[in-house]
Amino acid sequence: MEVAKVLISEEEIAAKLAEMGKQISADYANEDLLMVGVLKGAFIVMADLARHVDLPVEFDFMAVSSYGAATQTSGVVRILKDLDQEIAGRNVLIVEDIIDSGLTLSYLMKSLRVRRPKSLEVATLLLKKDIQRVPIDTKYVGFEIGPEFVVGYGLDYAGKYRNLPYVGLME
């Protein structure tokens, strides 16, 4: 596979997810917790983060796709796969690969909030610094990065590179 330049190494990601998992385990100790992965991008983060969460947590997934131009999100999101379960009264933690404009997540959170979860928080591996077009209150952030386009660890370019074991910059 053509290799992208390493921005965040496998080792750095592993250490960060272990730390995030430990924090989540402490914050939700003795609480019910449902972790919700946003497909497809979050599938690797979810799998690796989940193994550092030492709680009887449950999992669900949503799949969304944004309408409009290819590289810029419009903020209007279509739910391709909804949650399998009700979230009323539950602690919900959305797991994301990356927050860019924040529009996707903002829309998603709005549509989940009306279902009246007990709490609704976000854990993301990557946050593009200072370019959110809507404020997103992100409880757990792995790494803050610049505005550059990254691939790997779940993130794709035209559907490819999700399986790179690190976060890379396209050459």
**Which residues are annotated as catalytic?**
100
**3-state secondary structure labels for all residues of the chain:** CCCCEEEECHHHHHHHHHHHHHHHHHHCCCCCCEEEEEECCCHHHHHHHHCCCCCCCEEEEEEEEECCCCCCCCCCEEEEECCCCCCCCCEEEEEEEEECCCHHHHHHHHHHHCCCCCEEEEEEEEEECCCCCCCCCCCEEEEEECCCCEEECCECECCECCCCCCEEECC
The interface partner of residue 33, options being Mg ion, ligand IMP, none and the CB cut-off 5 to 8 Å by kind, is none
Considering only residues 21, 41, 102, 142, which one is a binding residue for Mg ion as defined by CB under 5 A?
41
Closest residue to Mg ion, based on beta-carbon distance: 41
Tell me if 125 contacts ligand IMP by CB under 6 A: no
Our finding on whether 149 is near ligand IMP (CB under 6 A) is: yes
Taking CB under 5 A as the binding criterion, the range among 2-10, 36-44, 87-95, 157-165 that sits at the site for Mg ion is 36-44
Of 28 and 48, CB closest to ligand IMP:
48
Closest distance between ligand IMP and the C-beta of residue 99, in Å? 5
Task: Give the binding site for ligand IMP (CB under 6 A).
Answer: 41, 73, 98-105, 149-151, 155
